[in-house]
Amino acid sequence: MIKYENECVGCPPEMGCIGEGCPNRNVPYYYCDRCGEEIDAYFNIDGEMVCDDCAHDILIEMYDYHKLYD
């Protein structure tokens, strides 16, 4: 999941605020859909954004499922 944070740095008055167009107003942070940990990179598996550890667990589950039922 992606959460957006307002990280406004309070630009000096002489620079002027560009409002919603400022990249500091909507900074994306990524979180694993399975464990909820903040992540820098993610895998998209079946529409879920997951971290390395959760991706590993999902792939093991898929492998075990197919091993049993194929």
CB 29 within 8 A of CB 2: yes
Which of 50, 9, 45 shows the shortest CA–CA distance to 30? 50
Indicate yes or no: pTM above 0.75.
no
Q: Regarding predicted confidence, which is higher, 11 or 43?
A: 43
Residue 40: CB partners within 8 Å, gap ≥ 6? 30
Mean pLDDT of 17-42: 92
Q: What are phi and psi of 22, to 5 degrees?
A: -75, 130
Q: How many of the other CB atoms lie within 10 Å of CB of 51?
A: 22
